[in-house]
Amino acid sequence: MKFDQFEWAMHKTLEQINEGNPSAKGKEIKPERLPPLVLAYIGDAVFNLYVRNRLLSYEQNKVRILHSYGAKMVSATFQAYALRQMEKDLTEQEMEIIRKGRNAKSSVPKSASVADYRSSTGFEALLGYLFLEGKQERINDIAEQCFIHISRKLKNNDDNKGENR
């Protein structure tokens, strides 16, 4: 999308928001019709909030620690790792959503490999889809499994660093 098209779309969206567009209120959102990157946009927020909430079980006073671990846990690298660990526990439909998310074209940041970034986009697309479908219990199951896999990986990484000191 060219910048002028982007500016026009932003302007139209803000116009609708500020006018309280009545056609947007109560508009049914059909997750199966949304582009995978839009699902990933929602799923990113879902997983980020899940991780932040879970971290509060362990630390409630040190925001710096919460932010540090939270940022690591929601990184593309760790999301891709957790997804690989739990793929066998996902349904065919869930794997299809992940596949579509993986195949979505987007620019990859330098902080992750292309493969990890694509996998994490698929993971986030799945969480976004489940969220928009109202499947909170399934989100909790998947996010908790990922949280555990990522936590163990972070602990192992810390343990290995301690041995090298």
Catalytic positions: 44
Residue 73 near residue 143 (C-beta atoms within 8 A): no
Q: CA angle 148-31-87, nearest 5°?
A: 30
CA distances in angstroms from 13 to 21, 55, 143, listed in the order given:
10, 35, 31
CA distances in angstroms from 22 to 8, 25, 89, listed in the order given:
21, 5, 42
Burial 130-140 (b: 16+ CB within 10 A, else e): bbbeeeeebbe
